Structure 1
Amino acid sequence: MPDLHSTYRHLYSSLSELSRLLNSKYPEIKTLMGPDPHLKWIVSGMVFMQFLACYLVKDLSWKWIFFWAYAFGGCINHSLTLAIHDVSHNAAFGNNQAKWNRWFAVFANLPIGLPYSASFKKYHIDHHRYLGGDSLDVDIPTDFEGWFFCTPLRKLLWLFLQPLFYSLRPLYVNPKAITRMEIFNALIQFSIDLIIYCLWGLKPIIYLIAGTILCMGIHPISGHFIAEHYMFLKGYETYSYYGPLNWLTFNVGYHMEHHDFPSIPGCRLPMVKKIAAEYYDNLPHHQSWIRVLWDFVFDDTIGPYSRVKRLCKLAEES
C-alpha cells in the first residue's frame, strides 16, 4: 500500500490531492464520472411501488402495518434516502442539469413521508467539504450525545433515536436559512401526504413514516450510518463495506471510494475499487453492517464520541 495513500487516510480520510494522484495514475477513472442513466428509472419504480403498497395496506390491522413498514416499506424508503444521496451529487441528470436533479430528489422523497431531500443536499455538501469539521459537518454527534449515550443500553436507545438526532442536529449545530427549495419540498410532500390520506386513510401515512423512522434506527441497513465514519481502528475515520446490502443501498458501502470521487455515481464505485485495487484492497473495511451495530452497542471503546472532530480553522483549510 503506497505511503502517500496511507498517510492521507490516516490524517483526513480523503483529500483532493489523493484524488488527483489516482486520476493521474488511473486515467480510466475519469470515464466513470457522469450521471447514471438507470437511476431515474430505478427510483421511479421504487416510488410507484410504495404508492401501490399504500393502497394494499389501507385495510390491514395495525400490527401488520408496522410489520410491513419495518420488513418491506422501510427498506425501500431507506434505499430512497440513499438514492437522494446519489442525486445530491447530480447522479440522475448530470452536473449540467442541477435543477432537474433537485426536483427529482423531491420526487424520490415522496414515499419517505416527511420533507428531507432539499435540506439533506444543503448540509451534505459541507460533509464532503469539511469532513469532521466542528460545527461544519453536522454528521458529527454533539457533545451531549457523546457524553450521555455511553453504555450499551443508552447506545441502543441512541440508535433507535438516530433519525431524530440526524434530522434535528443540523438545526442546533449549524443552523442555516430556509431555502426556497426546502419550502417547495415541504409543500409538495405534505400535499401528497394529504392526497394519500384522503384516498386511503391514515394507515398508509403511518406505514410510510413509520417505515422511514424504524429502518433508519435499529435495522441492518442503518448500520451504514455507523460504519462509514466511526473510528473502529485508530487513525482511520472512513471505511467501506463490500457486502450484499450494497445492492439495496446504491453502493453506499463503497464509502472510501465515494469520498475520493463524489462525482462518480454509486453504480460505478465498484469499478473504482477494481481499477485502483492496490489503493483499496489492503485498507480496513467492514464485513457486516449488523456486526457494526453489535460492536457499537457492546464495545466500550466505541460510541458517539468515536469520530474525528477537527477545529473549524483546520476544517476550513482542509
Structure 2
Amino acid sequence: MLRQHPEIRALVGPSAPTAFAVVGLVALQYLLAYAASFLPIWLAAVFAYAVGVPVAHALGVLIHECAHDLVFRRPDENRWLSILANMPLLFPAAIDFRGKHLAHHRRLGRQNEDTQAPTRFEIEVVGDSYARRFFWLSVGPVFFHGTPVKNPRLIPSKFFLAANFVACVGTMPLIFWSSPSSFVFLFVAALLAFGPHPVGIRRYAEHVSLAKTQPTNSYYGVWSRLAFNVGHHVEHHDFPNIAWHRLPRLKTRAREYYEPLLAVPSWSALLIRFLTDHSFGLDRYSSRGPKVRASKPPSRHPRDRGHLGYEEFLLNGRAVVSAKTLYGFERLARIGKLARRR
C-alpha cells in the first residue's frame, strides 16, 4: 500500500489539538452530572443512557488515542492525559488498557494471545444464554479482564496505575456526597458506554468474524462520526500511528484496499442480533487462521460497494469473503518500522 500511495506517510503522527477535545468532554460530562443532580435517581439513569453514554464512549475513544501516543509525542504526556480523560468514567482503566491494547495490536486474532479477545473461559461461561450475553455485555469489562499482557515492555508501571486509581476512585465519595443522582449519572454512563448501547457493542463489532481474511471490521455510520472516527477500525489496524481525524483521508486515498472489505452496517442492529440471535456469540470473535487470498465478488447493489448486511451474510449460510487483497498481519511490522524512522 505504501508503495502505491507514498502520500500516506504524511498522515502518520500525533495531533496535539486532540487534547482540547479531552478537556472539553471531561468538562461537559461533569457539567451533565451537575445537571443530573436536580433529577430523581431513576431519571438521572435515563438521562445517562440518552446523553451521558455517548460522551463517556467518546472519552474512551480518546483514551485509545492516548494509548497510541497520538496526542503528544512523549508517552508520559499521553499517559497523564488519558488519566484525565478517565476521571469521569470512574473505573480506573486507562493505564491498564494502554498495555493490553498495544499487545492486542501485536497479537491480533491469535488464540490465547490476543489480550482483548474473549477468553475460552468467557466463551464457555456465556455460551448461548441471552441473559449471560447481556450480563457479559453490561459488566464484562469489570469482571473479565481478558488475556494478561506478557510483554514486559507493555506492562504498565505501578506509579501510573496508582495515579489512575486515585484520580478515578478518589473522586467517587465526593461526587456521591454532593449528589447521589450525579453519581448514578456518571456510573451508568461509564458502565453502558461499553455495554448494552449502540456504541457499547463496538468492542464486539470490531472483531466479529465476517470473513476469513478479515480479522477486523470497520463501521462508517453516524455513531462513528460522533466518536472521533473510531469506526475506521480496519484503517486503524493498518496504520495505528495515524490520528483519528486523518483516518477518513487514508480510506479515501487507498480506497481500492478498503471499499471491497465487509463493513458492519449498523451497530444498533448488531446489538439486537447479539442479544437475540444464536448465530452471534463470543465464539464469533475473529481468530487468526491460514492465509487465504480472495477476489472481490460482484456488488449486490450499487450502494453496497462491497459491503454486505448481516442478514445477507448469515441467511445465505456461508461465509462470503470479499477482500481485494489479503489483509496481512505483517503490514503492522512495516508500519512500526516506518514510525520509528520518522
Residue 127, structure 1, aligned to residue 78, structure 2: no
Q: How does 1:76-155 map to 2 (within 5 A)?
A: 76-94=55-73, 97-151=74-128, 153=130, 154-155=132-133
The runs of 5 or more residues in structure 1 that have no matched partner are 1-21
Residue 305, structure 1, aligned to residue 308, structure 2: no
Residue 243, structure 1, aligned to residue 243, structure 2: no
Q: How does 1:191-270 map to 2 (within 5 A)?
A: 191-198=170-177, 200-270=178-248
Residue 186, structure 1, aligned to residue 132, structure 2: no
Q: Structure 1 residues 241 and 111 mapped into 2: Cα distance closer, same or farther (>3 Å)? A: same
Q: Matches of 1:241 and 1:99 in 2, distance apart?
A: 31
Alignment check: 8 A CA contact 1:135 1:174 kept: no
Letter in 2 for 1:124: H
Cα deviation, 1:173-194, whole Å, max 9, x if unaligned, reads: 9996762211111112223334
Q: Matches of 2:66 and 2:106 in 1, distance apart?
A: 17
Letter in 1 for 2:165: A
Q: Secondary structure at the match of 1:25?
A: coil
TM-score with structure 1 setting the length: 0.83
Residue 156, structure 1, aligned to residue 130, structure 2: no
Deviation of 1:149 (Å): 2.6
Q: Secondary structure at the match of 1:231?
A: coil
Aligned-pair identity in percent equals 33
Q: Structure 1 residues 234 and 302 mapped into 2: Cα distance closer, same or farther (>3 Å)? A: farther
Q: Which of 37, 56, 62 matches 1:58?
A: 37
Cα deviation, 1:109-139, whole Å, max 9, x if unaligned, reads: 1110121111110111100011123333221
Two-structure CA RMSD over aligned residues (Å): 2.6
Letter in 1 for 2:16: P
**1:7 alignment counterpart:** none
Q: Which has the higher helix share?
A: 1
Q: Structure 1 residues 85 and 142 mapped into 2: Cα distance closer, same or farther (>3 Å)? A: same
Q: Structure 1 residues 174 and 292 mapped into 2: Cα distance closer, same or farther (>3 Å)? A: farther
Deviation of 1:224 (Å): 1.3
Deviation of 1:61 (Å): 0.6
Q: Structure 1 residues 122 and 69 mapped into 2: Cα distance closer, same or farther (>3 Å)? A: same
**1:13 alignment counterpart:** none
Q: How many pairs are equivalent?
A: 289
Alignment check: 8 A CA contact 1:26 1:276 kept: yes
Q: Matches of 1:296 and 1:197 in 2, distance apart?
A: 34
Q: Matches of 1:258 and 1:151 in 2, distance apart?
A: 31
Deviation of 1:225 (Å): 1.2
Alignment check: 8 A CA contact 2:216 2:233 kept: yes
Q: Secondary structure at the match of 1:37?
A: coil
Letter in 1 for 2:124: W
Q: Structure 1 residues 152 and 291 mapped into 2: Cα distance closer, same or farther (>3 Å)? A: farther
Deviation of 1:206 (Å): 2.2
Q: Matches of 1:125 and 1:232 in 2, distance apart?
A: 23
Q: How does 1:269-280 map to 2 (within 5 A)?
A: 269-280=247-258
Deviation of 1:152 (Å): 5.5
Q: Matches of 1:177 and 1:127 in 2, distance apart?
A: 15
Q: Secondary structure at the match of 1:282?
A: coil
Alignment check: 8 A CA contact 1:226 1:292 kept: no
Deviation of 1:252 (Å): 1.1
Letter in 1 for 2:87: L
Q: Structure 1 residues 165 and 192 mapped into 2: Cα distance closer, same or farther (>3 Å)? A: closer
Alignment check: 8 A CA contact 1:138 1:174 kept: no
Q: Matches of 2:48 and 2:19 in 1, distance apart?
A: 24
The runs of 5 or more residues in structure 2 that have no matched partner are 290-328, 334-342
Residue 71, structure 1, aligned to residue 50, structure 2: yes
Q: Structure 1 residues 256 and 171 mapped into 2: Cα distance closer, same or farther (>3 Å)? A: closer
Q: Matches of 2:235 and 2:248 in 1, distance apart?
A: 8
Alignment check: 8 A CA contact 1:296 1:303 kept: yes
Q: Matches of 2:105 and 2:273 in 1, distance apart?
A: 26
Deviation of 1:239 (Å): 0.8
Q: Structure 1 residues 54 and 160 mapped into 2: Cα distance closer, same or farther (>3 Å)? A: closer
Q: Secondary structure at the match of 1:65?
A: helix
Q: Matches of 1:241 and 1:182 in 2, distance apart?
A: 32
Alignment check: 8 A CA contact 2:99 2:156 kept: no
